[in-house]
Amino acid sequence: MVNINTTMIWQLINFFVLLFLLKKFLYSPVKNMLEQRAAQINGDLDAAEAEKEKVEELKAEYEQKLRNARNEAQKIVDNAETRANKKAKDIISEAETKAENIKEKKLAEIEQAKKEAVSELRDSIADYTILATNKLIQEQLDKEKHQVMINQFIDGLDKEKLGELQ
């Protein structure tokens, strides 16, 4: 059985006194220190969470600004491209108009030169015809000489004037 003696009682008293002292001087301060540390850690975690939310908001705002800047840049590029295309079309249209005008002027000049050449040719043919007629009348040629003379006259005309028009 259990034998209770004074040593055991003193040991029990010492044990409870030790427990009381440990609780008062060691357990309570350590517990308070751990509670304070836990509160500080929780506060730091809450602060970190708040900072994280703030950073996420700033990141979202930054990304929105970046998207807006990209959209604006794209609009500027599109606008510049549209203006460049319009300017190119205007330049091409103007060049085509000028080319058409030049072509029309040159065709008109060619037509005028052709008319002048035909007029000169008519005048020359009339002169040559008169000269040929004068020669014929003066010489009173027979039909064979007359035919040879006309052929020579026509060959001369072909070489002198008609060759230029062809």
Report pLDDT digits (tens) over 75-107: 999 999 999 999 999 999 999 999 999 999 999
22 within a domain of the structure (yes/no) = no
Helices (H) and strands (E) in the chain, counts: 4, 0
Q: Note the pTM of the prediction, 2 decimals.
A: 0.41
Domain count, the chain: 1
Q: How confident is the model at residue 8 (pLDDT cuts 50, 70, 90)?
A: confident
> How far apart are the C-alpha atoms of 28 and 23, rounded to whole Å?
6
Residue 10 CB-half CA count within 13 A = 3
Domain that holds residue 154: 27-165
20 within a domain of the structure (yes/no) = no
8 within a domain of the structure (yes/no) = no
124 within a domain of the structure (yes/no) = yes
Q: Average pLDDT, stretch 54-60?
A: 95
The answer, yes or no, to whether residue 49 has pLDDT greater than 60, is yes
Q: Could you tell me which of 103, 106, 85, 107 has the C-alpha nearest to residue 95? A: 103
130 within a domain of the structure (yes/no) = yes
Confidence (pLDDT) at 163: 52
> How far apart are the C-alpha atoms of 54 and 52, rounded to whole Å?
5
47 within a domain of the structure (yes/no) = yes
143 within a domain of the structure (yes/no) = yes
